[in-house]
Structure formats: C-alpha cells, structure tokens
Structure 1
C-alpha cells in the first residue's frame, strides 16, 4: 500500500457546511459527498409566536421566523451567530446539549425546542420536529477514495453520520483516520480505522485543529511549507 500519497479529507456534512469546513483547511485536498440532506417537515407549531426557543442546530433557526428580540438558547457559537443574524436575543452553551440545561432552568419565558427528526439529546422542554435529515449514499468519487490507497481523514460531526459512514466504510481499502466532534460520535463509529481523535471542543474550529494534529497530517504540513517557499 502506498505510504507517500497525500492524505485527503472526505467531507460528508450537507454541502454548504462541508464547503465552509473545507475553507478552514485550505492545505488539505478535499472531496465533498454529503451523507445527509436537510428537508423541511410540516408541523402545526406556531414558532413565530413562541416567547423563547432552544436551538441545538443552526438548521432549525430558519424555521422559527424573525427573532424580534425573542430569547434563543443556542447550543454553541455557530448556532448562536445564526440566531443573532435572525434577530434573536441569544444565550449560548458550550457546544454540548447538556450545557443548555442551566440556561433552560433559568429561562424567564416558556421555551420550545425546534429540532431535526433524528435527535441526539432530548431536552426538558416541549419539542417539535421541523426538519428531517435524509440519508444519502456516498458519491462515486467518495467510494473510489475508500477503495484506493491514499489515507483518508473522515470528520464525524454526529453519532448518526458516524453510523452511516461506518456502514459505507467497512469494506474500505484506504486507511481511514476518524476525527470526532464528541466521544458519542466516536463511539458510533464501528468500522476499522488507522487512528482516531476527538476534538477538544464540539465545534468546527476544534475539529480542524484536531485534524492538523493527526500523525497523517505531516504530509500536508510539509506540502504547505514547500508551497510557501517555492519561487514565484
């Protein structure tokens, strides 16, 4: 098996999320193959009238209507930023759903939790499903990478995506390095791997940092230095 091939990123979040993450690691060749598609779900809840909302994903913010200064308890910084842009009065957790519990307890208004059909953590507030995460097959390009020799780095951004990806990767020939956003996401991976890491915090910046610390990342670090020192 080749050992000097450039390691590649296989990014499987929805397209816009994957493109944003790829931009955080410009030195890494990347292939994007979303394994989930976000689709709205019809619901009866009048979220525009809710006094306060709990967002555990940025995908839910757009279903709640304009913020108008309403309270929004957000799981982390990315979701909080999206909610602020929508006009909500944001309180942020540390990226883990458990960090929302004291904020929920201290809320001065009733709360509703709009969320996806597949929910990793049930919170003690009324919830409503506003979108579905539809599983998608990997692209032909992604499957060709799994069947090849170059090492792959596979970020795992949720337990469900980890399970879906493991099912695709069990017959892979390529050495796979997994980087998980949480211990729960890593535990959901039940295929072989050449190595793994868990991000120091459950956010994209910490995921990118963990990828750069992988032993397999040395090749791309060297490539970046060579490109910087190359004559014009």
Structure 2
C-alpha cells in the first residue's frame, strides 16, 4: 500500500523518537518517510536519593527510569509506573514493576494499594501533579527531579520540511512540546498535528489540522499516525 505524500516530523528526544518510528513502521509493515528533530534533550541531574529508603519507586516516563539507572540499581525494587512501556523498561532492569494506568489520572485512581513511603522520580517539567494527587489520598510521597528537559531548536532539515509544500504529520506527546513547536514558526507546510490528549491539543496554537488519539498511549498514537499516512 503506498504512503500518502506526507512526512513524519518526530520531535521527542532522540531515543523516544526512534522507538516511536519503529513502532509506526512495524504497524505499517514498511519504512516511513520521517525527519527526527528533537525539541528537547534529556540531561540527568544525578539527584537521586537512596532508593532503599522507599517501599515504592514511581516513574511516569522512561527518561526517569534511564536517569535513575545511571546511578542506582532497580533490581528487586517495587516500581509503579504510568504506562506499560515504562513498566517494561523498569522490569528489564530487574524491578518488580506494575503500570497503574496510562495517564496520571488513571494512576491516581488505581493507587489505593500503593505501599509507602514512595519516591516519585520525575523531570524538571512534570504534568498532572501526580505527587499532589497521591498526597490528597494520604499517601506518603517524596519527589526527586532526576532529569532536565532542555529545549533545543529544530534542525535545518526540519525547518526546510515545515517551509515546504509536502504535508507534515507531527505527533505531539506533551503540552510543553506543543508550546515549543508553536514557537518554531513560521510553519508554512500543510500540517497535521496528532495530539496525545485533549490537554496537549489545548496548547496547540498552530495552523492546520489537529487530531487526538483515542487514548493517551503510544500505541494509540502510532495507530493514528499510520492511518493518516496510509490511504
């Protein structure tokens, strides 16, 4: 089946963009035209407390897992995550990991049995106020900022793509990425934004079409992207 005259623009950090592209290409059963140009890079802070002080370690992203693993082991640790992919990453490092939901709201709803005290390892920019939601449920939660998300400009190749006439399909996974992309203008190319959630879509002050995934999951994002690329 041929691909529409479209190019994917992937703006997540490099490793996540390549992982998402592979997921899309696996679904499509073919290579897809894509430009990877991260709008942020991940810089571990090295600020990780002794994990042995906590009954449960909480992660909402693979970036947090990888940042912690630079300094400490997760082997045998009880881990609770947002998202199955984050849980699988923690399990691959030896953790006893369980995903409590695909977004922060679902995690909080399913956190009744969470053993404390817990440590929420997150980035400088964190959405959803997970720690506060858990404290409102009388959970004992501390936070550690284990990585920074440093904004980076689009590459020349990505800028040329957005200045051209070929349709661009841009998956956007977070409100901050939406704001960073909007600041990259001018955006001349026909643009379709694939937003992970309504919260992301609300931050998109961009020309063009916006479509929202059926659920805030990487799998659903990939399914939607492939459906737009393949006629």
TM-score by length of 1: 0.85
Asked whether the equivalents of residues 196 and 213 of structure 2 are also in contact (C-alpha less than 8 Å), the reply is yes
Distance (whole Å) between structure 2 residues aligned to residue 49 and residue 5 of structure 1: 53
4+ runs deviating over 6 angstroms: none
Match of 1:46 among 50, 53, 68: 50
Residue 122 of structure 2 corresponds to residue 122 of structure 1:
no
Match of 2:120 among 113, 124, 127: 113
- RMSD (Å) for aligned C-alpha atoms: 1.9
Distance (whole Å) between structure 2 residues aligned to residue 5 and residue 179 of structure 1: 16
Residue 218 of structure 2 corresponds to residue 204 of structure 1:
yes
Residue 85 of structure 2 corresponds to residue 89 of structure 1:
no
Match of 2:10 in 1: 11
Q: List runs of 5+ in structure 2 lacking aligned partners.
A: 26-30, 135-140
Match of 2:64 in 1: 60
Farther off after superposition, 127-136 or 35-44: 35-44
How much has 1:48 moved relative to structure 2? 4.6
TM-score by length of 2: 0.85
1:45 aligned counterpart, secondary structure:
coil
Match of 2:28 in 1: none
Q: How does 1:21-32 map to 2 (within 5 A)?
A: 21-26=20-25, 27-32=31-36
Match of 2:192 among 177, 190, 195: 177
Q: List runs of 5+ in structure 1 lacking aligned partners.
A: 223-232
2:184 aligned counterpart, secondary structure:
helix
Larger radius of gyration: 1
How much has 1:42 moved relative to structure 2? 3.7
CA displacement, residues 78-123 of structure 1 (integer Å, 9 cap, x when unaligned): 1010011111112213311111114433223311101000011212
1:190 aligned counterpart, secondary structure:
coil
